[in-house]
């Protein structure tokens, strides 16, 4: 009987777990919900970036020049307030829409019902202290805090619960069926009437129950008991390293690791980024080192494993035809964060020789980036969400000024040094194989 290797045992343990996680309807819905909101978040962040572009004279110009009584910067802020500042609205609709698809119910109504349920739980007043006053006033209205990052987790829970209740009522047959000949849109609207009524009634009851507790409402409860502790844990160096270690082991086994980890980790990172963006918008310095930009722009570059460094080395030194051609074809996509060609074409998947640098380089990136930002050598990312295809150096500058660009360049060079001996070994092995094939061809 053949003895199992370490890699066989690792694959045997992790593959079922990864398949179960990646196939989970709730995690898939969270991932897809954030994906639906992503375009708006990127656009809103871009407007924020324009008004806070890291050139002091530019920022002073926008903040001092007035048009119709308003500064130019305030017009850019309107776009940010309409997108990133109320990001939870888009996330709730997106998750409700995606989860409705998983449960095979009307996705549009699933998204709408999720949003209504979330608003039912939301407090409709908040405390406000006027400038120059020491006494806080209670103001009727919706707080941007709950509409933004602080409302994300309660939004996720509300969407899942609302769509699940909606599905149960439909399965029970408690729907109003219109006669044949009625336009489909009208029929769908009436069919959603009773299920939506049940959802709203259930959430009114939940709101009443929480009003009897010390938290006063569900938003305060979820934020203080669930979201805040998770942000504290997820915003640590240890958490980032562990998440990336797990993701890269899955990549090594041929599974899209970041798809799995992002579905669980991204809500925390987005909340931390939103807090940073709010600080920048208020003219303050961001505080959360770990966030979406830290992960996308500094932990890795050129895709999982920071394989851009590997490809740079291969382009410069490769002598074997296979590695030379693969690196030339793969390096341009890698600059924009696409590295599936090298992961599956080199391959990195199930290649024990490359497992060490593939995991080691991102881990070193995370540690160095965290330390340099923690001591103030590099500015903490400003919270601006950029397309994941934004090339390094450019992305570092837009997120953390010129220091961020220099840090990315340093990490790329360091990654090249780490990957170098492994690329040399692979290239030599490829040359031997090519010579053997050439000799076999001559003999034939």
CB 243 within 8 A of CB 261: yes
**What residues are paired with 140 via a beta bridge?**
125
- Average pLDDT, stretch 20-47? 80
Residues 6+ apart with CB under 8 A from 112: 93, 96
Q: DSSP state, 290? A: S
The region, left, alpha or beta by phi > 0 then psi within -120 to 50, assigned to residue 374 is: alpha
pLDDT, tens digit (0-9, with 9 covering 90-100), for 392-429: 998 899 888 899 999 999 999 999 999 999 888 888 88
Would the pLDDT of 16 be above 70?
Answer: no
- How confident is residue 1, by pLDDT bands cut at 50, 70 and 90? very low
Alpha-carbon span 43 to 20, nearest angstrom = 34
- How confident is residue 358, by pLDDT bands cut at 50, 70 and 90? very high
- Is the Cα torsion angle 104, 109, 115, 121 positive or negative in sign? negative
CB 296 within 8 A of CB 388: yes
Which residue shows structure tokens 């987005």? 270
Q: What is the pLDDT of residue 12?
A: 63
Alpha-carbon span 248 to 266, nearest angstrom = 16
- Average pLDDT, stretch 106-124? 94
Return the SS3 of 25. Answer: helix
Angle formed by the axes of helices 152-171 and 193-211, nearest 10°: 130
Return the SS3 of 168. Answer: helix
pLDDT above 70 covers what percent of the chain? 92
| Least confident range of 130-134, 139-143, 217-221 | 130-134
The region, left, alpha or beta by phi > 0 then psi within -120 to 50, assigned to residue 60 is: alpha
Alpha-carbon span 434 to 35, nearest angstrom = 44
pLDDT, tens digit (0-9, with 9 covering 90-100), for 253-293: 777 777 778 777 888 888 888 888 888 877 788 888 999 88
The pTM score is: 0.77
Residue 256: other Cβ atoms inside 10 A = 16
- The residue that leads in pLDDT, 51 or 206, is 206
- Average pLDDT, stretch 48-75? 79
Would the pLDDT of 10 be above 60?
Answer: no
In angstroms and rounded to an integer, the radius of gyration of the C-alpha atoms of the chain is 26
**What residues are paired with 154 via a beta bridge?**
none
Element (H, E) at 11: helix 6-22
Mean pLDDT of all residues belonging to the chain: 84
Alpha-carbon span 119 to 68, nearest angstrom = 34
Q: What is the pLDDT of residue 443?
A: 65
| Least confident range of 39-53, 350-364, 420-434 | 39-53
Element (H, E) at 394: helix 394-443
Q: What is the pLDDT of residue 261?
A: 80
Q: What is the pLDDT of residue 312?
A: 93
| Least confident range of 9-18, 137-146, 156-165 | 9-18
Alpha-carbon span 152 to 162, nearest angstrom = 15
Q: What is the pLDDT of residue 209?
A: 95
Would the pLDDT of 93 be above 90?
Answer: yes
Strands (E), 75-195: 125-128, 137-140
Q: What is the pLDDT of residue 355?
A: 86
């Amino acid at each position: 009987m053949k003895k199992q290797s370490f890699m066989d045992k690792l694959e045997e343990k992790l593959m079922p777990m990864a398949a179960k996680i990646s196939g989970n309807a709730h995690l898939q819905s969270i991932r897809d919900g954030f994906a639906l909101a992503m375009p708006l978040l990127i656009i809103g962040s871009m407007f924020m970036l324009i008004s806070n572009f890291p050139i002091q004279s530019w920022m002073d110009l926008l903040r001092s020049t007035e048009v119709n009584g308003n500064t130019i910067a305030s017009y850019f802020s309107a776009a940010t307030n309409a997108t990133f500042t109320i990001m939870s609205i888009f996330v709730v609709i997106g998750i409700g829409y995606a989860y409705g698809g998983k449960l095979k119910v009307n996705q549009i109504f699933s998204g709408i019902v999720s949003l209504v349920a979330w608003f039912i739980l939301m407090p409709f007043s908040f405390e406000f202290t006027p400038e120059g006053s020491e006494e806080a006033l209670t103001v009727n209205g919706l707080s941007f805090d709950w509409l933004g990052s602080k409302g994300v987790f309660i939004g996720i829970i509300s969407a899942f619960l609302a769509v699940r209740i909606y599905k149960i009522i439909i399965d029970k047959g408690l729907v109003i069926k219109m006669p044949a000949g009625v336009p489909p849109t009208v029929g769908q609207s009436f069919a959603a009437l009773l299920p939506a009524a049940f959802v709203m009634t259930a959430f009114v009851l939940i709101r009443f129950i929480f009003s009897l507790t010390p938290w006063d409402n569900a938003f305060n409860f979820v934020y203080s008991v669930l979201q805040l502790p998770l942000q504290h844990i997820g915003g640590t160096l240890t958490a980032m390293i562990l998440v990336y270690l797990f993701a890269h082991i899955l990549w090594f086994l041929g599974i899209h690791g970041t798809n799995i980890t992002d579905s669980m980790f991204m809500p925390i990172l987005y909340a931390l980024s939103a807090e940073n963006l709010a600080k920048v918008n208020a003219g303050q310095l961001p505080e959360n080192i770990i966030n979406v930009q830290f992960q996308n722009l500094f932990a890795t570059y050129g895709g999982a494993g920071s394989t851009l460094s590997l490809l740079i080395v291969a382009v410069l030194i490769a002598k074997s035809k296979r590695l030379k051609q693969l690196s030339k074809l793969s390096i341009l996509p890698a600059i924009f964060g696409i590295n599936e060609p090298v992961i599956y074409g080199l391959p990195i998947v199930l290649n024990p020789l490359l497992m060490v640098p593939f995991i080691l380089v991102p881990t070193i990136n995370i540690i160095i980036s965290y330390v340099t930002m923690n001591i103030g050598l590099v500015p903490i990312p400003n919270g601006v969400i950029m397309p994941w295809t934004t090339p390094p150096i450019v992305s570092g500058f837009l997120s953390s000024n010129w220091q961020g660009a220099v840090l990315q360049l340093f990490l790329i060079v360091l990654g090249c040094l780490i990957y170098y001996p492994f690329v040399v070994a692979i290239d030599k092995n490829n040359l031997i194989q090519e010579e053997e094939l050439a000799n076999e061809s001559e003999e034939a």
